[in-house]
C-alpha cells in the first residue's frame, strides 16, 4: 500500500515539475525584446544638394535669340581686362564657369539650343580631360570655350611659372578635346595681379574676362533667387557670371533666359562682345571722338 502511494506521489511531483518548467519557458518567451518600430520616414533622405526642384516644363514656343552673323575677332587694345563692354545695342554675353559637368552641362545646352543662344563656357582643364565629349558638344553647337585654369587655384598667390603651366595645360586639354583654341581667360575667383595680367596678355594673347552681373549662384540660394538677381542687374554690354556645375543654376536658366529675351537682350559670345568694343573704338577714332 505504502509502495503504491509513494509511486503515485512521485508521478504527481513529476507532473508538477513539468507544469512549472512550461510556465518558466513561457515567461522567458514573453520577456524577449520587441522588434524596433519602423522608421518614421520612408524613401530616400533629401539633402540640401538634392532638392525637389525640377526645371519647369515648356508650354508653347520659347523666345528665340535672333540669328546673327557677327565677327569674333577682336584686336588687342589698351585694356587688359573687361567686366562689361560698351555697345550700341542690347547685346550681352552669358558665361558659365567651372565645367564641364556631365549632367548639368548637357541639360543647359538643351536649353540654350531651344532658344538659339550662344554662350561662353570658362572650363577647368581637369574637367575637360574628364569629360571631353561634353566639350565637343559645346563647340559643335557654336558656343565659345575659354580658359579657366587647370586646377582652379587663386592666381594672385601663385608663381608665374605655375600660372603658365595652368594655362598651357588647359589650352592643350581643350585642343585635344575639341580642336579649338581658347581666346580669352577668366582667372579663378577673378583674382589676378595687374603685373600677371600684363604678361599673360602678352604671352598668351588672352584678355582677362571678369563680370558685371554676379548672382552668387555658388552659394546655392535657389533657382528663383538666381533668376531674379540676373534679371535685375543685366544691362546692355553686361557680362553675366554663372556656374554650370550647380544644378540650381541650370534649373534657373529657362526663366532667366526667357526673361532676358523678352526684355530685348541679344546674346553673343564674349569674343563677339569684345569685337563690338573694337568696332566702336575704331568708329570713334575715325571721327575724332574720344574713346569711352
Mean pLDDT of 183-204: 97
Mean pLDDT of 52-69: 75
pLDDT grade for 151, boundaries at 50, 70 and 90: very high
- Pairing between strand 91-97 and 266-267? parallel
Q: Annotated active-site positions, please? A: 97, 243
DSSP 124-147: -HHHHHH-HHHHHHHHHTT-EEEE
Distance of CA 244 to the CA centre of its chain: 3
What CA–CA distance (Å, rounded) separates 106 from 133? 10
What CA–CA distance (Å, rounded) separates 215 from 231? 10
Mean pLDDT of 252-263: 98
Q: In the predicted model, is pLDDT for residue 18 greater than 50? A: no
What CA–CA distance (Å, rounded) separates 272 from 266? 12
Contacts of 17 (CB under 8 A, 6+ apart): none
Mean pLDDT of 171-175: 98
Contacts of 20 (CB under 8 A, 6+ apart): none
Checking 130-135 for CB contacts under 8 A at 24+ apart, the result is 131/100, 131/101, 131/102, 131/105, 132/176, 132/177, 132/178, 134/99, 134/100, 134/101, 134/102, 134/105, 134/106, 135/100, 135/174, 135/177, 135/178
Least confident of 26-35, 98-107, 227-236, 248-257: 26-35
What CA–CA distance (Å, rounded) separates 247 from 226? 12
pLDDT grade for 31, boundaries at 50, 70 and 90: very low
pLDDT grade for 123, boundaries at 50, 70 and 90: very high
Bridge-partner residues for 242, per DSSP? 96
pLDDT, the chain, mean = 83
Least confident of 3-7, 29-33, 70-74, 159-163: 29-33
What per-residue confidence (pLDDT) applies to 79?
87
Whole-number percent of the chain with pLDDT over 70: 74
Direct distance between the N- and C-terminal alpha carbons of the chain, in angstroms, rounded to an integer: 134
Q: What would you report as the CA-atom Rg of the chain, rounded to the nearest whole angstrom?
A: 34
Whole-number percent of the chain with pLDDT over 90: 71
Nearest to 117 by CA among 141, 135, 140: 141
Mean pLDDT of 83-90: 96
With left for phi above 0 and alpha for psi between -120 and 50, is residue 105 left, alpha or beta?
A: alpha
User: In the chain, helix, strand, coil percent, each to 5?
Assistant: 45, 10, 40
pLDDT grade for 85, boundaries at 50, 70 and 90: very high
Q: Which of 3.40.109.10, 3.10.290.10, 3.20.20.370, 3.40.50.740 is the CATH number of 81-286?
A: 3.20.20.370
Angle between helices 247-262 and 223-233 (to 10 degrees): 40
Amino acid at each position: 500500500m505504502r509502495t503504491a502511494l509513494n509511486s503515485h506521489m512521485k508521478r504527481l511531483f513529476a507532473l508538477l515539475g513539468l507544469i512549472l518548467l512550461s510556465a518558466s519557458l513561457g515567461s522567458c518567451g514573453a520577456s524577449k525584446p520587441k522588434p524596433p518600430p519602423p522608421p518614421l520616414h520612408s524613401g530616400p533622405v533629401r539633402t540640401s544638394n538634392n532638392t525637389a526642384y525640377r526645371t519647369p516644363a515648356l508650354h508653347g514656343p520659347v523666345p528665340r535669340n535672333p540669328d546673327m552673323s557677327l565677327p569674333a575677332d577682336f584686336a588687342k587694345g589698351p585694356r587688359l581686362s573687361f567686366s562689361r563692354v560698351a555697345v550700341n545695342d542690347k547685346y550681352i554675353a552669358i558665361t558659365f564657369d567651372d565645367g564641364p559637368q556631365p549632367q548639368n552641362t548637357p541639360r543647359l545646352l538643351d536649353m540654350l539650343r531651344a532658344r538659339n543662344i550662344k554662350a561662353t563656357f570658362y572650363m577647368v582643364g581637369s574637367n575637360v580631360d574628364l569629360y571631353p565629349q561634353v566639350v565637343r558638344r559645346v563647340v559643335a553647337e557654336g558656343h565659345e570655350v575659354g580658359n579657366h585654369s587647370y586646377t582652379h587655384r587663386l592666381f594672385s598667390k601663385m608663381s608665374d611659372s605655375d600660372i603658365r603651366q595652368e594655362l598651357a595645360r588647359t589650352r592643350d586639354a581643350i585642343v585635344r578635346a575639341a580642336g579649338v583654341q581658347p581666346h580669352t581667360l577668366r582667372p579663378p575667383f577673378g583674382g589676378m595681379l595687374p603685373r600677371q595680367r600684363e604678361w599673360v596678355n602678352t604671352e598668351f594673347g588672352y584678355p582677362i574676362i571678369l563680370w558685371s552681373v554676379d548672382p552668387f549662384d555658388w552659394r546655392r540660394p535657389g533657382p528663383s533667387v538666381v533668376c531674379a538677381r540676373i534679371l535685375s542687374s543685366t544691362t546692355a554690354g553686361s557680362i553675366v557670371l554663372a556656374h554650370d556645375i550647380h544644378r540650381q543654376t541650370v534649373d534657373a536658366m529657362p526663366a532667366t533666359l526667357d526673361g532676358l529675351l523678352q526684355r530685348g537682350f541679344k546674346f553673343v559670345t564674349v569674343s563677339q562682345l569684345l569685337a563690338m568694343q573694337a568696332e566702336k573704338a575704331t568708329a570713334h577714332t575715325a571721327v575724332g571722338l574720344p574713346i569711352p
